[in-house]
Chain A
């Protein structure tokens, strides 16, 4: 199955876990127009993101993320998407939307400390004492 790798603002590298899993796949980044219209980021931030994307992705698109990714898949004859995991609610909503009709493989991000699912992070010190031992915590 031909796969497309979706790079996003939380994982913007040609060596992100999804891209490493599918080194032959085309990497696409989308500047999400609805998000940018709302967020009003400074030019510097957008330019910085553009520089990251220009190096990491073979294709940069501007528009509504789900529609752009579907279009990119069609254009490149891809049947599935791979993406590195993010905790952002907006990213989760986009993945849920994409999954209506598209196969999406979520590749786990590489963390500093291994934390079991379901751990309730409340204050830093107990978190670091429990899981940061490898790094002196």
Chain B
């Protein structure tokens, strides 16, 4: 397989998550849905980390949903979890309908996204050297482990698209190459959702949102001038008023 993967050989290491159905079933049995609804958006919240197995059909969507129903019944936590599984099926349905068109803007953007987008993300972003600890730590985790928390994915995508005006395709490619659960539909369509080419409005976030969702420690050791430290109306004015 040498020569068929992206890195130079010295950097090639397995992820901390093991592939295969045995590992998948062990992860499924270990997953408790209790507290999922309230904590899933927090960086260290109770998330399942089953997406790698679901994406590659090692576990079936229905199988995962039924396991939760058998063990926990139908509490609100389970409903929220099933809804996330529903998103996976929804993205696949869109993909079935549109095929490779998911790689083009599906709708006109609701805000100015900029132009002349690069094919690849700038080096300093890919190498986790922007100086913004929240972004750099998220990229480092992605490159080293093949995983990034869903909320961190949204922050990063919004940073790339709306704060840096780099478009969504280069970031989409970067995620696809590294995420163990990288799926054409879930990935490209989520980037488009953040961009507002597949949603009613762009997704943006601020520093307070990062701090409230488990990123406080990042902020405490960050010395950069924070581009996210503002209210939402102020950010909207800065990002979209030109």
The interface of chain A, by Cβ under 8 A from chain B, is 9-16, 31, 33, 36-37, 39-52, 54-56, 62, 84, 87-89, 92, 109-113, 115, 119-122, 124, 127-128, 132, 135-137
Complex: A52 Cα to B52 Cα, angstroms: 10
Is residue B241 within 8 Å, beta carbon to beta carbon, of the partner chain? no
Let me know if A128 and B83 touch, CB within 8 A.
yes
Residues of B contacting A31 with CB < 8 Å? 1, 4
Let me know if B82 and A135 touch, CB within 8 A.
yes
Classify the interface of chain B: helix, strand, loop or mixed. helix
Complex: A45 Cα to B145 Cα, angstroms: 10
Identify 17 new A-B residue pairs, CB closer than 8 A, beyond the known A39-B176, A43-B14, A45-B146: A9-B56, A11-B56, A37-B4, A40-B5, A42-B146, A42-B177, A43-B6, A45-B179, A48-B17, A49-B19, A51-B20, A52-B21, A55-B22, A88-B95, A121-B94, A124-B87, A132-B82
Interface residues of B in 1-48 (CB under 8 A from A): 1, 4-7, 11-15, 17-23
Nearest residue, chain B, Cβ from A85: B96
Nearest residue, chain B, Cβ from A132: B86
B51 to chain A, nearest CB (A): 12
| Size of B's binding interface in residues, CB under 8 A | 58
Nearest residue, chain A, Cβ from B11: A43
Residues of A contacting B87 with CB < 8 Å? 124
Complex: A97 Cα to B5 Cα, angstroms: 26
Let me know if A44 and B58 touch, CB within 8 A.
no
Residues of B contacting A120 with CB < 8 Å? 97
Let me know if A36 and B83 touch, CB within 8 A.
no
Let me know if A41 and B56 touch, CB within 8 A.
no
A-B pairs with beta carbons under 8 A, tally = 163
The interface of chain B, by Cβ under 8 A from chain A, is 1, 4-7, 11-15, 17-23, 52, 55-63, 65, 74, 78-79, 82-83, 85-90, 92-97, 99-100, 143, 145-146, 176-180, 182, 184-185
A112-B85, A120-B97, A136-B83 known; A45+B177 contact, CB < 8 A:
yes
Residues of A contacting B180 with CB < 8 Å? 44-45, 48
Complex: A127 Cα to B89 Cα, angstroms: 10
Nearest residue, chain A, Cβ from B88: A112
Which of A14, A44, A84 meets B15, CB within 8 Å? A44
